[in-house]
A = this chain, B = another copy of it.
Amino acid sequence: MSFSDHIRSCNNYDPARVVPLTAGNARVGLLRRDNAEALRRFPDVFATEEDKVELVARGDITAVSRAIDAVVDTLVGDSQVPKWRNETFDVAPRWGEPPVFRLDRGAVPFFGTRAYGVHLNGYLRKGNTLCLWIGRRSADKQVAPNKLDNLVAGGIGNGHGVEETLLKEGEEEASIPTSLLKDAIPAGAISYRMETRLGIRDDVLFVYDLEMPADFLPKNRDGEIVHFELMPASAVLEHVRTTSDFKFNVNLVILDFAVRRGLLRPDDPEYLDVATGLHRPLD
């Protein structure tokens, strides 16, 4: 493994394997060609052409979402979408624009709609040593079971804001009180585009840093994290460099932290690949 391997595996997207999903004149998703083909049998909802799929279901956001839910139900029945997550994400051409529909989280990679998350680097200094709180994901997580994770991380569900999601997830995942989470500092965003078994992940992660009190011990409440450990940040970085123990995108969040904090320095042969590889320009 190397740092660049992690970046490459999160950016293995190949435009030749994908057609756009459009709504009116805007692109709202990226359909792998096999997934696009699977939509031909729903002509009332999607018009599948050679080089694009157009959303043709009409009505307000509730009506369009309901029509797409019926499609997803069939796809779940046929195992083309893994299962209902019963948590929906807003789908819009760009962040901040009005959503066109809401989509069950489980179907997001199938349609390749852009998804947004929040990740929190919880750090503190023990003497001269910068340390990071690292979580271990539960064995029954659908995505990346047993992998290492940031102190807090979660997807931004429909209608929820970035900070609101941070407060909710920080409380559920690590029992961090709102009064402390309010001090978290937004430190940028990571973006990547990745093909997985299910389709395309077109992900944007809002990154926050929070200096943790020395006596605070995170405790998970929602069963998603089984264990937290405070590790020297330099050891975390070496773990990223040499293993695949961290969840795929958490490697990128830690690399971003390492670059911003000067843990990774210009004399590292991979420095520029890391510093310029974590922020795929949005289109």
**Interface positions of A (Cβ within 8 A of B):** 95-96, 161-163, 185-189, 191, 204, 206, 259-262, 264-267, 269, 271-273, 275-282
Contacts and interface: CB of A to CB of B under 8 A. Distances in A.
A210 to B, nearest CB: 11
A279 B278 contact: yes
A172 to B, nearest CB: 20
Stoichiometry, as copies per complex, reads 2
B276 A281 contact: yes
Given A186-B262, A276-B280, A279-B279, 12 more contacts: A163-B266, A185-B262, A186-B265, A187-B259, A187-B261, A187-B262, A188-B275, A189-B266, A204-B272, A275-B279, A276-B281, A278-B279
A159 B69 CA distance: 61
Contacts of A272: 95, 189, 204, 282
Contacts of A280: 276, 281
A142 B271 CA distance: 31
A63 to B, nearest CB: 28
